[in-house]
Amino acid sequence: MRKRILDINNQNFINLLKEGDIEAHELLYRLYYERLLYVANSYLNNKEDSEEIINDVFVKLWKRKNKLSIKSSLNAYLYRMTKNFCLDHLRKHKKRLSKTDNTLQLEAFVHFEALSDTASTKFIEEELGQQIQLAIAALPEKCREVFTKSKVQGLRYKEISEELDISIKTVENHMSKALKHMRLYLREYMPFL
């Protein structure tokens, strides 16, 4: 159950990005900004340039949202984009680099292991997943049931009303209450909710 709500590599989440869901994009930014900044800085050895690169990565992701074609995982896709942006940046500025800078960056290329770092991704996803599960568990029973059917199982309000033998208006009320609760419960983890 937790996986369907949280898995950012899930096709449903990727579809939200493609549809221009600003909240999905902001969540991705919050989850990946620091790690991608670390990746960029290991290539560039310049914090300002690295920050600019990461912002460019997310801007390009937003601009090309309709054309997203993610064949592996979203994690790998973002790291690959960051790496490519860094390499492009280095090519453009190659003439300005001193021999010492080139040596440091070459060492970073050779010793860099963060591109395959799925452990930190899993940790963040698990932590956020636990908080989401706690928030869901704290909902009143009927509210939790309606929320789960809507957000986890992907049922429409009409289907939920038929399945639970309640009116669509009651489903809407339960969802409104559940979403308000989730926003309050998760506000420190996802302040944009």
The CATH number that applies at residue 91 is 1.10.1740.10
Q: Which domain holds residue 45?
A: 2-115
Statement: residue 188 has pLDDT above 90: no
Tokens of 171: 């489903």
Q: How far is CA 146 from the centre of its chain?
A: 25
Burial 51-68 (b: 16+ CB within 10 A, else e): eebbebbbeebeeebeee
Both 108 and 39 in one domain: the answer is yes
Both 155 and 60 in one domain: the answer is no
Task: Find, among 40, 30, 22, the residue nearest to 109 by Cα.
Answer: 40
| Residue 70: CB atoms within 10 Å | 15
Q: Which residue has the higher pLDDT, 6 or 150?
A: 150
The pLDDT of residue 94 is 67
Residue 15 lies in a domain: yes
Statement: residue 48 has pLDDT above 80: yes
The pLDDT of residue 4 is 36
pLDDT band at 1 (very low <50, low <70, confident <90, very high): very low
* Structural domain total, the chain: 2
Mean pLDDT of 91-99: 63
The pLDDT of residue 65 is 84
Both 15 and 101 in one domain: the answer is yes
